[in-house]
Amino acid sequence: MSRLIQPEIEKIKNQTGELGTLIEENLQRAIKALLANDPDLAREVISFDREEIDRREIALEEECLRIMALYHPVAGDLRFLVTVLKVNGDLERIGDLAAKIADKVLLISQIDTEVYDTAGMMLPARFLAMQEKTVTMLRQTLEAFHHEDTDLAYKVCLTDDEVDRDKRAIREELEETIAQNPAQHIYLAKLIGVARSLERIADHCTNICEDVIYMAQGRIVRHRLI
């Protein structure tokens, strides 16, 4: 082969890194919009996801397919490209979920605050912990991917259970609050939606980490207890 595949792989790596960065930042903006109840920021998040992230996802996928067609990569390179294709899909879903959170922020901002007591609009403390955990998970996932750090990937997979527990606890707590004070259900239902989105982001992170383990070790750890 006259041309070298390594520079192309390197390019893909950078492109994936950039996409990950944008998605992470978008998620953090979405959470910030939720905490600050900032509908403008939320709108920004949604449009950024539609315009920039989706476009980049498609570009990255095409680039991967192009390299596969042109170079017929084998072994590590092939595993890397296949992993990027999968990770790309997961990342894009994470981006969509961030947009979904922003969407919920828009809906919450449209609720007539006069009807509800402002004190009730406080986010439960557990919620903060959960979103923090999710963002950390995403950060660590991207780091594990970039540095091919399987230890970190395994660790992230284990954190997923915590996020699941948090989500369950939040749902139960909010449902209880709704039972006590049904007037707030519109608002709280949205919060449950946000919690679900966060939990699913964590799931996608787990998927990516499993792919990272596959990429580094060539071992498929999906559908298995780690």
Partner 1 sequence: MAYGKRRLLWQLYPALLLVTLAALLAVSWLAGTSVRNFHVEQVESDLAARAQLLKGKIVDLLAPGPDDPAPAAALPYSHSPAQLAVLQAYSRQAGTASATRLTVVAPDGLVLADSEQTPAEMENHAYRPEIIAALAGGTGRDVRFSSSVYYDTMYVAIPLEQEGQVIGVLRTAIPLTAVDEALAAIYHRIALSSLVIALLVAVTAWFIARRLSRPLEEMKAGAERFAAGEFAGRIAESGAEETAALARAMNRMAAQLDQRLRTIDRQRNQLQTVFCSMVDGVITVDGAERVVEINQAAADLLAVEPDRIKDKNIRVAIRNSALQDLIRQVLERGEPVEGELTLLDGKGGEHFCQAHGARLAELNEQGPGAVLVITDVTRLRRLENLRRDFVANVSHELKTPITSIEGFAETLLDGALDEPEEARRFAGIILQQSRRLHAIVEDLLTLSRIEQEGRRQGVPLQELPLLETLQAAVQACSRRAADRGMALELRGPAKLRAWINPALLEQALINLVDNAVKYAPAGSPVIIEAEETATEILIRVSDRGPGIPAAALPRIFERFYRVDKARSARLGGTGLGLAIVKHIVQVHHGRVRVASTVGQGSTFTIHLPKTAAGPLPSLNQNLTEG
Contact set with partner 1 (CB under 8 A): 10, 13-18, 20-22, 24-25, 28, 35, 119, 122, 125, 128, 132, 135-136, 139, 142, 146-147
Contact status, residue 72 vs residue 119, Cβ threshold 8 Å: no
**Nearest-approach distance from CB 146 to partner 1, in angstroms:** 4
State which residue, 66 or 147, has the beta carbon closest to partner 1. 147
State which residue, 21 or 217, has the beta carbon closest to partner 1. 21
CB atoms within 10 A of CB 199: 21
Distance between first and last Cα of the chain: 40
- Among 30, 23, 29, 15, which residue's Cα sits nearest to residue 194? 30
SS3 state of residue 223 = coil
State which residue, 146 or 185, has the beta carbon closest to partner 1. 146
**Nearest-approach distance from CB 32 to partner 1, in angstroms:** 8
**Nearest-approach distance from CB 143 to partner 1, in angstroms:** 8
Could you write out the three-class secondary structure of 81-149? HHHHHHHHHHHHHHHHHHHHHHHHHHHHHHCCCCCCCHHHHCCCHHHHHHHHHHHHHHHHHHHHHHHCC
State which residue, 63 or 221, has the beta carbon closest to partner 1. 63
State which residue, 18 or 222, has the beta carbon closest to partner 1. 18
State which residue, 81 or 142, has the beta carbon closest to partner 1. 142
How many Å apart are CA 131 and CA 173, to the nearest integer?
16
**Nearest-approach distance from CB 22 to partner 1, in angstroms:** 6
Amino acid letter for position 225: L
**Nearest-approach distance from CB 151 to partner 1, in angstroms:** 13
**Nearest-approach distance from CB 128 to partner 1, in angstroms:** 7
Q: Six-digit token pair at 138?
A: 């995403």
